[in-house]
């Protein structure tokens, strides 16, 4: 009977200890207009390094950052069908102390791309921030993987997402880009890194 009680006690102790020591090693990106080293799970460069794109997924939320060598706007278009047509666009720029982020949708092969709100949709950017320093514009945004808006494209928790990108020297999103291109983002669901000590260490090994 004493042995059974001891086993039950040790089982409770082990479970309680494991619950306590499981903890995330990394946190979520901060939407503050600054991209820190290791803040995002993934990144890729375009245009010979002129545009850096960072992203992370946590639950049903998508975190995105664009860092471009420009004093104008930076943009990304998600899952266009042909050229720019039907791309879910995100534009961002910084003018003085003001940061503007536009949730848009391209209605032509080379545009235009009016804001979703002008097409009967909704602005589904949950939070955004930006900065401009030394000729580099940084824009950070957070949105749902699936917003329910017909003018937004769903982002899978894992798989490849086709994108287009662009930058301009102007803050006007209607001005033509000075650099542009296309590529692919390989996305994966955000997984917390766990620290779990072996049971033998928790209980101690018998000699």
Residues 191-203, mean pLDDT to the nearest whole number: 36
Residue-level pLDDT at 105: 98
CATH architecture of 42-187: Sandwich (2.60)
Q: What is the DSSP letter of 49?
A: G
Residues in the chain: 207
Residue (of 193, 191, 187) closest to 55 by Cα position: 187
Residue (of 195, 192, 191) closest to 17 by Cα position: 195
For residue 192, the Cα-to-chain-centroid distance in whole angstroms is 15
Q: Does residue 80 have a pLDDT over 70?
A: yes
CB 63 within 8 A of CB 138: no
Residues 108-125, mean pLDDT to the nearest whole number: 95
Q: Does residue 18 have a pLDDT over 50?
A: no
Residue-level pLDDT at 2: 54
pTM: 0.78
- Mind listing the pLDDT tens digit for each residue in 34-78? 999 999 999 999 999 999 999 999 999 999 999 999 999 999 999
Residues 98-125, mean pLDDT to the nearest whole number: 96
Residues 8-18, mean pLDDT to the nearest whole number: 41
Higher pLDDT, 187 or 85: 85
Residue-level pLDDT at 157: 92
């Amino acid at each position: 009977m004493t042995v059974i009680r001891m086993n039950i006690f040790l089982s409770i102790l082990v479970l309680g200890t494991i619950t306590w020591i499981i903890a995330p090693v990394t946190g979520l990106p901060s939407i503050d207009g600054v991209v820190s080293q290791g803040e995002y799970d993934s990144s890729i460069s375009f245009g010979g390094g002129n545009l850096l794109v960072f992203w992370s997924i946590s639950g049903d939320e998508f975190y995105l950052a664009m860092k471009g060598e420009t004093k104008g706007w930076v943009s990304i278009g998600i899952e266009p069908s042909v050229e720019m047509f039907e791309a879910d666009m995100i534009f961002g720029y910084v003018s003085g102390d003001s940061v503007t982020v536009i949730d848009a949708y391209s209605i032509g092969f080379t545009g235009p791309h009016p804001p979703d709100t002008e097409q009967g949709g909704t602005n589904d950017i949950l939070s955004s921030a930006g900065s401009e320093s030394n000729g580099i514009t940084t824009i950070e945004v957070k949105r749902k993987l699936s917003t329910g808006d017909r003018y937004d494209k769903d982002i899978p928790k894992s798989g490849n997402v086709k994108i287009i990108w662009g930058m301009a020297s102007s803050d006007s999103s209607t001005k033509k880009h000075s650099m542009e291109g296309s590529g692919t983002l390989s996305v994966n669901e955000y997984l917390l890194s766990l620290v779990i000590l072996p049971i033998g260490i928790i209980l101690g090994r018998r000699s």
